[in-house]
Amino acid sequence: MRYFIVDAFAQGAYLGNPAGVCLPEQPLSTRQMQRIAAENNLPETAFVTRARGAYQIRWFTPAGEVDLCGHATLASAFVIRHVLEPHADRVTFQSVSGPLYVDTVEERFRLDFPARPARRTEPLPRIEAALGAKPLETYLARDWLVVLDSEQTVRGLQPDFAAMAKIPQGDGVIVTARGESCDFVSRCFYPKSGVNEDPVTGSAHCNLTPYWAERLGKTRLVARQLSARGGALACALTDDRVLLTGGARLYLSGEISTAYLSEELS
C-alpha cells in the first residue's frame, strides 16, 4: 500500500504537522486502519479511497478514529494533487462530517470545512488545574475551548497531561489568546487520543475562526499555533463554513508491507 508523510501547514522543512496518508487498493477493516495508525505513531493517519467521483477519507490518531481532521486532509489533497491527479485544482472528500473541499491556490491548499461554533460554559476547575492558568472564558464543542489572557501565557503553558486526560467531556483542550503579530494564537492538547500536543490543528480552527471573527469583527484572520514545530494558517469565515489555507511539504514516500495488510491482526 502506498504511504506518504506530509508536513501540513508547514512553512519549511520539519515544521507544521506531520500526517500519514495511506492509499489502500484493497478494503481495510476499521481495526486494521487503527493498528496501522498506531504503528505509524503520527498525530493523524488518513486513509483515502475513490468513492463515486470523489475520495472517501477517514482519520485515525494512534488511539482512535476522529470525526474531522484538517491537517491530514490537507496532506491527502497534497498527495492527490502531486501523485494521483496532477491537474486537479479541487479535490472533494466524503467524510463523516459531510463533504469537504480542498482547492489549490498558488501552490498552497485551501480547506473548505464546516464551522463549529462552541457554546459558552461555566469555568471548569479541572481545566484550570491541568493548564496551570486561569481561563478568561470557557467553551465546549467537540473539544474544550479555553481563552487565556495573552500570547505569552499560551506560549508558556506546561500542562499536566495526566490530569487533562481525566477531564470529562471534550476530546481535547484548545487554548487561545489574541496574537501579538497575528490575529490569534493557539495550542491544542489531546492526551485522550494519544497526542499530548498536536503541532497544528485544522479542525480546532473550525471552532477558533467563528470565535475570533465575532470577537474581532472581521471575517479574514491570520493565526499561528504555538507548538514546538509551529504552523501558520490563513482563516476565513463564510456563512457556516471555514476556509483554512496553508502550505505542505512532502517528507517521505514509500509503501506498507502487504504482509501487514494480509495478516489477521490480533
Residue 264 pLDDT exceeds 60: no
Instruction: Tell me what pLDDT residue 266 has.
Output: 45
C-alpha cell at 13: 522543512
Instruction: Tell me what pLDDT residue 260 has.
Output: 78
How does strand 144-147 pair with strand 184-190? unpaired
In the block, residue with C-alpha cell 490563513: 234
Please give the single-letter amino acid code of residue 147: V
Distance CA 124, CA 181 (A): 30
Residue 221 CB neighbours (<10 A): 21
**Strand ranges for the chain from DSSP E:** 2-8, 17-23, 44-51, 54-60, 65-66, 90-94, 100-105, 108-114, 119-121, 137-140, 144-147, 173-178, 184-190, 195-198, 220-225, 231-238, 241-246, 248-255
Residue 182 CB neighbours (<10 A): 15
- Please identify every residue annotated as catalytic: 44
C-alpha cell at 232: 501558520
Residues 6+ apart with CB under 8 A from 103: 89, 90, 109, 110, 112
Tell me the pLDDT of the chain averaged across its residues.
95
Residue 98 pLDDT exceeds 50: yes
How does strand 2-8 pair with strand 248-255? antiparallel
Q: How far is CA 1 from the centre of its chain?
A: 23
Distance CA 107, CA 246 (A): 9
Residue 32 pLDDT exceeds 80: yes
Distance CA 146, CA 140 (A): 9
Please give the single-letter amino acid code of residue 19: A
Which domains, ranges and CATH numbers included, belong to the chain?
A: 2-115+247-262 (3.10.310.10), 119-238 (3.10.310.10)
Q: What is the pTM of this model?
A: 0.94
Distance CA 8, CA 12 (A): 10
Q: Report residue 97's pLDDT band, with 50, 70 and 90 as the boundaries.
A: very high
Distance CA 73, CA 71 (A): 5
Distance CA 49, CA 172 (A): 28
Weakest mean pLDDT among 85-89, 110-114, 136-140, 226-230 = 85-89
Instruction: Tell me what pLDDT residue 172 has.
Output: 96
In percent, the amount of the chain with pLDDT more than 90 equals 91
Total residue length of the chain = 266
C-alpha cell at 49: 479511497
Task: Classify residue 70 by its DSSP letter.
Answer: H
